[in-house]
Homo-oligomer: A and B are copies of this chain.
Amino acid sequence: MKIVHQINQVKGMIREVRQKGGTIGFVPTMGYLHEGHLSLMRRAKVEQAVVVASIFVNPLQFGPKEDLAVYPRDLERDSVLAESADVDILFVPAVEEMYPQGVKRFLTVVDVAAITGVLCGAARPGHFRGVTTVVNKLFHIVEPDAAYFGQKDAQQVTVIKRMVEDLNMNISIVTVPTVREADGLALSSRNVFLNVAERRAALVLHQSLQAAVRLLAGGCRSAAAIRAAMTALIAAEPLASIDYIAVVDRDSLAEIAAISGPVLIALAVRIGKTRLIDNMVWEG
User: A124 vs B170: C-alpha distance in the bound complex, in angstroms?
Assistant: 31
Q: With an 8 A cutoff between CB atoms, is A143 at the interface?
A: yes
Taking the full assembly, how many copies of this chain does it contain? 2
Q: With an 8 A cutoff between CB atoms, is A213 at the interface?
A: no
Closest to A106 in B: B166
Residues of B within 8 A of A109 (CB): 110-111, 113
User: A7 vs B165: C-alpha distance in the bound complex, in angstroms?
Assistant: 12
**Closest approach, in angstroms, between the C-beta of A130 and any C-beta of chain B?**
13
- A115 in contact with B110 (CB, 8 Å): no
**Closest approach, in angstroms, between the C-beta of A100 and any C-beta of chain B?**
9
Q: With an 8 A cutoff between CB atoms, is A167 at the interface?
A: yes
Residues of B within 8 A of A113 (CB): 107-109
**Closest approach, in angstroms, between the C-beta of A145 and any C-beta of chain B?**
12
User: A110 vs B132: C-alpha distance in the bound complex, in angstroms?
Assistant: 10
- B107 in contact with A166 (CB, 8 Å): yes
**Closest approach, in angstroms, between the C-beta of A42 and any C-beta of chain B?**
27
- Contact partner of A112 (CB less than 8 A), chosen from B108, B132, B166, is B108
**Which chain A residues have a beta carbon within 8 Å of chain B's beta carbons?**
7, 11, 106-115, 132-133, 136-137, 140-141, 143, 162-163, 166-170
A–B complex contacts, Cβ < 8 Å, 12 sampled:
A7-B168, A11-B170, A108-B111, A108-B113, A108-B162, A108-B167, A109-B111, A110-B167, A137-B166, A137-B168, A140-B169, A141-B168
